[in-house]
Chains A and B, each alone.
Chain A
Amino acid sequence: MQRRDFLGLSIATGLSVAGLGGCSKSGPLAFGIHPWIGYEPLYLARDFDWLPASVALRSGTSARDSMDGLLSGELGGAALTLDETIRIWSQGTELVVVAVADVSAGADVLVARPHIAELADLRGQRVAVELDGVSGILLLKILEVAGLSRDDIVAVDLPVNQHPEAWSRREVDASVCYEPTVSALESDGGLRLFDSSSIPETIFDLLVVTRDTVDSNPGAVRDLVAGHFAGLRHMVRSMHDSIYRIASRQGIQPGKVKNALGTVMLPDLAANQRYLAASGRVESVARSLSRLMFDEGIITNEPGFRGLCNTAFLPRRVS
């Protein structure tokens, strides 16, 4: 065991040296990210200069920006949910999960107008949802739980950041969204009807990179993952500080940040090792999710998921 660690360390050192070499050739790793409580550690790392020059965060407004970037090849990696990862893969770009940023435990929410008291009342209602995002999956799950089919509701495909506007214009009756949109809708009279805490360990927010990046720029990937865990450590250890910083960037009250943190699980290194293990939770959920998505016609072919998760880039410890 000790020996393997040592060997691993030497190999890692060698790889990182090689990776740095590759870095200078291929430039920094362009990593797509958008506002989400689970991705905040990366933002914190950027703000505290814990991300080396080998990683360049490309901040978008929603997951769609990141997905477009990955498909066009502009981005070498992105912070995505598991279903988004499956979508990209099914379109031919192989991805590797290098870290689990968070597991939704109530972060993804169905907010409805007060007259919708239970899930069954959704029938015939206009539901705002970013269909090709994680919300689409939650909606599928909700319909599953509610015993409704997709035709029983009117799905309004809308990027999450446009939900509050549509809500205030009363163009939708319900919204599948997440913070900070949830808080915005709640303050505008919305009520929580369902959230991801009812379907635990299903909605993963991941840090993924393309297979090409893993091969050509492993050092940058390692830097990225190390940066995420450094930010996470600050978040856990200096909660008092992090809350204000996250609140500042997301433009919400610090108290709301606290609430949002309550809706996600932020797995540490050990948990990441467990999730990303071969035949671990991420891979098994990916398989069942891709079957669901295939059945629903969201994707046209099921990816093979060979080498989906890779624990090689996780730091041995957070110093």
Chain B
Amino acid sequence: MIARCHRFLLAVFFVVGCLTSTFVSARETLAFGVFAYRPDNIIRERYEPLVRYLSDEIGVDVELEVLNQQDMSLAVAANRLDFFLTNPSHFLLIRSERSLTGVLATLVRQSGETSTASLGGVIFTAAGREDIDGLEDLRDKSIASPGVHFLGGFQTQVLELLDAGVDIRRKNRVRFVDTHDRVVRSVLSGKSDVGFIRTAILEEMAQADADLFSQVKVLNRQALAGFPYVVSTRLYPEWPLVALPHVNERDVRRVASALFAIEPEDEAAMAAGITGFSPPADYQSVEYLARTLRVPPYDQMPRVNWVDVLNQYRVWVLIILVLVALLFASSLWLGRSKRQLAAQQSRLKQLIRDWPQPALLIQDDIFVNTNRAAVDLLRYASNASLYGKSLVAFSPELQPDGQLSRHKMEQILVRVRSGLVERCEWMLHRSDGTEVWADMTLAPVDGEGENGPVILCSLYDITRRKQAEQRQRLAASVFDHAREAIFITDSHGIVIDANDAYLEITGRPQTRAIGRLPPLPMDEGSGIFSSARTHGFWSGEFSCNHHNGESLVLAVTISSVRGDHGEVSHFVGIFSDITRLKEQETRLRVMAHYDSLTGLPNRVLFSDRLQQAMALSRRQGSKLAVVYIDLDEFKPVNDAFGHDAGDQLLIEIASRMRAVLREEDTLARLGGDEFAAIVINVQDEASLQGLLLRLLGRVADPVRVARHTVEVSASIGYTLYPQAKQLDGDQLLRQADQAMYEAKHRGRNRYVRFSAPSG
């Protein structure tokens, strides 16, 4: 029941369908386009029977249009075609330009007994070309091809050559000549070295020209069993037959069924050289080819947006982001470190530049950098004055130790380059010619990547110190070599240092000199320090004992030395031994006032004492007597026994007289055999005269001289003081002298008092 119902419905549909078809076909014919891959007339001749067959089968006029690729594309765009048959590459191009209902069928080509639904490319050259044997030989050869959109005529060959490492699209001259026939002619005529055509062309053309295969050489020939044509490349599906979307479905269906119904023996098939049509092949291999070669419609890269990239390469993007972030962070960190480093460097530079101690950098023995202090030290105007010069250029020829500056510096630099730090004193010349002493330190500086080792030269001006040292040395030498004793004490007077002369004069060994008091005067003792503290100094002479007990007289000066706060911190003493000087002085004084023979005061001292006695007498109201004594008969003794005997006599007499007189009385020798005496506190004249008698008696006693006993006497004159009128000493002595002469006159050996002449 159901089956019958179906059949009925089908019948209804069929009738309606037929009517519609008749109606439609009554209005129009179907245009069947075939791509003219060979000359138009050949194509037309081959496909006319097929078109007629289709017209008959579907009951609609089918019109054959033979078109080249461009025209076919235009016709498709204008909907002037209903069906078309073209190569797969061209089909892909058209399909990409507009949606099609798709491939109805794939052509199956017939060659003799075999058929194939595959096509490939043929690479060939003229038979005589011995220089072209393999694909590699195609480099730099001219190539003829029907066109870019020919699958078997261009694209298959390009891919095959690309796999073999020959990129003809970049390196070769390719001539596009529209049809396969022209390619063959171009190669045979020698216009092109190599030709690209699709499979079956050579075989078809060989039907007209039996000689053709002997004229060409096929390259890279593939041995494919069962494939009826020579081929140089891998294979792809044959041409698709395509229906355009505007064609109604019934026509499509009828055309399809008519196509599949074609048998190899049919006229339509025989004429077209085909076996018939097979169900649509899978054209993905052609698509893959087009994509690989980037030929249209796959010549444009699909636009990939960043989301696609992110999806595809999420991990990589993440890693790259992390790496970029790390890079960024590390550059920030590096930048900061660099800034810190730069700031540090500038601080250091500034520090070195403004550092008050002169510093210079030496490289290859010359200055390459200096600071301000160094320039100032050498008294130059700018750093530039020092650059490029060696240290020797600023040094005198000889250093104070006698070495040549150049020689000494070389030795020092050798040691410094070996890594040692050298320190020495160095004399430098300033620009104004003055000399400056420097304490110089040379140290190697670790300079990586520098041309040569860098040496830091640091100078320290020690000129003042040197001068002070010289002064000190001078002072020390004065201290050491002075004839005078010099000592230094602390504020309490204890000796803390003393020179050699001190030890020599005092006779004290070093151990007994230091840490003790210096020689001091007996009476004042340490008081002299108080005096020196008060007045700033003390000086005086005093005696003391040498270490060995001898007596010494010292002339001492002590000065106080004040400290920073005005307090007395030290005393400096200087003294000399004046013992001999003092002895000399005493001797001279004795010589001036005493008689050298008898040791009695001489006339000078006598006068002096007379003055004193007269003054005392006046003050006390006492009396004194001046006595003049002259020896009688002295000259004969002198003449008889010689001067020595005379002198001996005088000494003896003087001694006897001295013994008679009191201690407070003075006896003086006035010269020759004349003596004078001052007798003070004369109570009365009688006691005086008694004294005078004793004198005469003692003088008259015999004296043993020169083994002889001699006897002399004395004549004495005297006078008293005070007297009525004012008198001086000389007058008194003259009075006594006159009285002595009176005594001589009266017969010697007697005394006579002066009596003023009357009248």
* Pairing of A with B: yes
Whether B227 and A254, one on each chain, are in contact in the complex, defined by CB atoms closer than 8 angstroms, is yes
Whether B234 and A5, one on each chain, are in contact in the complex, defined by CB atoms closer than 8 angstroms, is no
Q: What is the CB-to-nearest-CB distance from B199 to chain A, in angstroms, rounded to a whole number?
A: 11
Whether B117 and A251, one on each chain, are in contact in the complex, defined by CB atoms closer than 8 angstroms, is no
Whether B118 and A240, one on each chain, are in contact in the complex, defined by CB atoms closer than 8 angstroms, is yes
- A72 interface hit (Cβ, 8 Å): no
Question: What A residues does B120 contact at CB under 8 A?
Answer: 241
B 293-323 binary contact with A (CB < 8 Å = 1; else 0): 0000000000000000000001100000000
- Enumerate B113-138 residues with CB–CB distance to A below 8 Å: 116-118, 120
Whether A238 and B235, one on each chain, are in contact in the complex, defined by CB atoms closer than 8 angstroms, is yes
Whether A244 and B315, one on each chain, are in contact in the complex, defined by CB atoms closer than 8 angstroms, is no
Q: What is the CB-to-nearest-CB distance from A271 to chain B, in angstroms, rounded to a whole number?
A: 19
- Enumerate B234-248 residues with CB–CB distance to A below 8 Å: 234-237
In the complex with contacts A237-B285, A238-B235, A240-B236, A2-B227 CB distance below 8 A = no
Q: What is the CB-to-nearest-CB distance from A309 to chain B, in angstroms, rounded to a whole number?
A: 27
Whether B235 and A241, one on each chain, are in contact in the complex, defined by CB atoms closer than 8 angstroms, is yes
CB nearest neighbor in A for B284:
A237
- A117 interface hit (Cβ, 8 Å): no
Q: Could you tell me the distance between the alpha carbons of A6 and B227 in the complex, rounded to whole angstroms? A: 46
- B210 interface hit (Cβ, 8 Å): no
Question: What A residues does B116 contact at CB under 8 A?
Answer: 254
Main SS at interface, chain A? helix
- Enumerate A247-294 residues with CB–CB distance to B below 8 Å: 247-248, 251-255
Whether B315 and A245, one on each chain, are in contact in the complex, defined by CB atoms closer than 8 angstroms, is no
Q: Could you tell me the distance between the alpha carbons of A252 and B226 in the complex, rounded to whole angstroms? A: 8
- Enumerate B125-174 residues with CB–CB distance to A below 8 Å: 163
Q: Could you tell me the distance between the alpha carbons of A249 and B510 in the complex, rounded to whole angstroms? A: 128
Of B118, B224, B225, the residue contacting A251 (CB under 8 A) is: B225
CB nearest neighbor in B for A239:
B282
Q: Could you tell me the distance between the alpha carbons of A281 and B263 in the complex, rounded to whole angstroms? A: 46
Question: What B residues does A241 contact at CB under 8 A?
Answer: 118, 120, 234-236, 285
Whether B223 and A240, one on each chain, are in contact in the complex, defined by CB atoms closer than 8 angstroms, is no
- A169 interface hit (Cβ, 8 Å): no
Q: What is the CB-to-nearest-CB distance from A17 to chain B, in angstroms, rounded to a whole number?
A: 20
Question: What A residues does B224 contact at CB under 8 A?
Answer: 244-245, 247-248
- A115 interface hit (Cβ, 8 Å): no
In the complex with contacts A240-B237, A240-B281, A244-B235, A5-B315 CB distance below 8 A = yes
Of B163, B225, B284, B315, the residue contacting A247 (CB under 8 A) is: B225
Question: What B residues does A247 contact at CB under 8 A?
Answer: 224-226
Residues on A close to B: CB < 8 A? 2-3, 5-6, 48, 237-241, 243-245, 247-248, 251-255
Question: What A residues does B314 contact at CB under 8 A?
Answer: 2
Q: Could you tell me the distance between the alpha carbons of A245 and B118 in the complex, rounded to whole angstroms? A: 12
Whether B315 and A240, one on each chain, are in contact in the complex, defined by CB atoms closer than 8 angstroms, is no
Whether B235 and A240, one on each chain, are in contact in the complex, defined by CB atoms closer than 8 angstroms, is yes
Q: Could you tell me the distance between the alpha carbons of A307 and B40 in the complex, rounded to whole angstroms? A: 66
**Interface pairs (25), CB distance under 8 Å:** A237-B282, A237-B284, A237-B288, A238-B234, A238-B235, A238-B285, A239-B282, A239-B285, A240-B117, A240-B236, A241-B234, A241-B236, A243-B118, A244-B225, A244-B226, A244-B227, A245-B224, A247-B225, A247-B226, A248-B225, A251-B225, A253-B225, A253-B226, A254-B116, A254-B227
Whether B315 and A6, one on each chain, are in contact in the complex, defined by CB atoms closer than 8 angstroms, is yes
Q: What is the CB-to-nearest-CB distance from B575 to chain A, in angstroms, rounded to a whole number?
A: 103
B 185-227 binary contact with A (CB < 8 Å = 1; else 0): 0000000000000000000000000000000000000011111
Whether A254 and B225, one on each chain, are in contact in the complex, defined by CB atoms closer than 8 angstroms, is yes
**Contact-size category for B:** 20 to 34
Q: Could you tell me the distance between the alpha carbons of A237 and B117 in the complex, rounded to whole angstroms? A: 15
Q: What is the CB-to-nearest-CB distance from A257 to chain B, in angstroms, rounded to a whole number?
A: 9
Max count, chain B CB within 10 A of own CB: residue among A2, A239, A247:
A239
Question: What B residues does A244 contact at CB under 8 A?
Answer: 118, 224-227, 235
Q: Could you tell me the distance between the alpha carbons of A252 and B224 in the complex, rounded to whole angstroms? A: 11
Max count, chain B CB within 10 A of own CB: residue among A48, A240, A247:
A240
The count of A-to-B residue pairs whose CB atoms sit within 8 angstroms is 54
Q: Could you tell me the distance between the alpha carbons of A5 and B314 in the complex, rounded to whole angstroms? A: 11
Q: Could you tell me the distance between the alpha carbons of A2 and B224 in the complex, rounded to whole angstroms? A: 45
Question: What A residues does B163 contact at CB under 8 A?
Answer: 48
CB nearest neighbor in B for A250:
B225
CB nearest neighbor in A for B224:
A244
Question: What B residues does A238 contact at CB under 8 A?
Answer: 234-236, 285, 288
Question: What A residues does B227 contact at CB under 8 A?
Answer: 244, 254
Q: Could you tell me the distance between the alpha carbons of A253 and B116 in the complex, rounded to whole angstroms? A: 12
Which are the 5 A-B pairs with shortest beta-carbon distances?
A: A244-B224, A241-B235, A240-B118, A248-B225, A238-B285
Query: Beyond the given A5-B315, A241-B234, A252-B225, could you list 8 further A-B residue pairs with CB under 8 A, ordered by the A residue number?
Result: A238-B285, A240-B118, A241-B235, A244-B118, A247-B225, A247-B226, A248-B223, A251-B225
CB nearest neighbor in B for A252:
B225
Q: Could you tell me the distance between the alpha carbons of A235 and B237 in the complex, rounded to whole angstroms? A: 13
Q: Could you tell me the distance between the alpha carbons of A282 and B236 in the complex, rounded to whole angstroms? A: 35
CB nearest neighbor in A for B234:
A241
Question: What A residues does B117 contact at CB under 8 A?
Answer: 240
Q: What is the CB-to-nearest-CB distance from A249 to chain B, in angstroms, rounded to a whole number?
A: 8
Q: What is the CB-to-nearest-CB distance from A35 to chain B, in angstroms, rounded to a whole number?
A: 14
CB nearest neighbor in B for A255:
B226
Question: What A residues does B237 contact at CB under 8 A?
Answer: 240
Whether A3 and B315, one on each chain, are in contact in the complex, defined by CB atoms closer than 8 angstroms, is yes
Max count, chain B CB within 10 A of own CB: residue among A5, A247, A254:
A254
Question: What A residues does B118 contact at CB under 8 A?
Answer: 240-241, 243-244
Q: What is the CB-to-nearest-CB distance from B236 to chain A, in angstroms, rounded to a whole number?
A: 6
Question: What B residues does A253 contact at CB under 8 A?
Answer: 225-226
Q: Could you tell me the distance between the alpha carbons of A202 and B733 in the complex, rounded to whole angstroms? A: 185
Max count, chain A CB within 10 A of own CB: residue among B118, B236, B288:
B118
CB nearest neighbor in A for B281:
A240
Q: Could you tell me the distance between the alpha carbons of A252 and B225 in the complex, rounded to whole angstroms? A: 8
Q: Could you tell me the distance between the alpha carbons of A237 and B159 in the complex, rounded to whole angstroms? A: 15
Q: Could you tell me the distance between the alpha carbons of A5 and B227 in the complex, rounded to whole angstroms? A: 45
Question: What B residues does A251 contact at CB under 8 A?
Answer: 225
Q: Could you tell me the distance between the alpha carbons of A247 and B227 in the complex, rounded to whole angstroms? A: 10
Max count, chain A CB within 10 A of own CB: residue among B227, B281, B288:
B227
Question: What B residues does A48 contact at CB under 8 A?
Answer: 163
Q: What is the CB-to-nearest-CB distance from B275 to chain A, in angstroms, rounded to a whole number?
A: 12
Q: Could you tell me the distance between the alpha carbons of A247 and B284 in the complex, rounded to whole angstroms? A: 22
Q: What is the CB-to-nearest-CB distance from A305 to chain B, in angstroms, rounded to a whole number?
A: 35
Question: What B residues does A3 contact at CB under 8 A?
Answer: 315
Max count, chain A CB within 10 A of own CB: residue among B116, B225, B282, B314:
B225
Whether B226 and A240, one on each chain, are in contact in the complex, defined by CB atoms closer than 8 angstroms, is no
Q: Could you tell me the distance between the alpha carbons of A239 and B278 in the complex, rounded to whole angstroms? A: 15
Question: What A residues does B236 contact at CB under 8 A?
Answer: 238, 240-241
Q: Could you tell me the distance between the alpha carbons of A247 and B118 in the complex, rounded to whole angstroms? A: 14
Q: What is the CB-to-nearest-CB distance from B304 to chain A, in angstroms, rounded to a whole number?
A: 17
Q: Could you tell me the distance between the alpha carbons of A253 and B236 in the complex, rounded to whole angstroms? A: 18
Q: Could you tell me the distance between the alpha carbons of A137 and B12 in the complex, rounded to whole angstroms? A: 58
CB nearest neighbor in A for B227:
A244
Q: Could you tell me the distance between the alpha carbons of A243 and B227 in the complex, rounded to whole angstroms? A: 10
Q: What is the CB-to-nearest-CB distance from B293 to chain A, in angstroms, rounded to a whole number?
A: 15
Q: What is the CB-to-nearest-CB distance from B630 to chain A, in angstroms, rounded to a whole number?
A: 153
Q: What is the CB-to-nearest-CB distance from A26 to chain B, in angstroms, rounded to a whole number?
A: 30
- Enumerate B266-304 residues with CB–CB distance to A below 8 Å: 281-282, 284-285, 288
CB nearest neighbor in B for A233:
B288
- Enumerate B605-625 residues with CB–CB distance to A below 8 Å: none
Q: What is the CB-to-nearest-CB distance from B119 to chain A, in angstroms, rounded to a whole number?
A: 8
Q: What is the CB-to-nearest-CB distance from A47 to chain B, in angstroms, rounded to a whole number?
A: 10
Q: Could you tell me the distance between the alpha carbons of A309 and B306 in the complex, rounded to whole angstroms? A: 39
Q: What is the CB-to-nearest-CB distance from B532 to chain A, in angstroms, rounded to a whole number?
A: 100
Question: What B residues does A248 contact at CB under 8 A?
Answer: 223-226
Question: What A residues does B225 contact at CB under 8 A?
Answer: 244, 247-248, 251-254
Whether B226 and A254, one on each chain, are in contact in the complex, defined by CB atoms closer than 8 angstroms, is yes
CB nearest neighbor in B for A254:
B226
Question: What B residues does A255 contact at CB under 8 A?
Answer: 226
CB nearest neighbor in A for B164:
A49
CB nearest neighbor in A for B118:
A240
Question: What A residues does B284 contact at CB under 8 A?
Answer: 237
Q: Could you tell me the distance between the alpha carbons of A5 and B226 in the complex, rounded to whole angstroms? A: 45
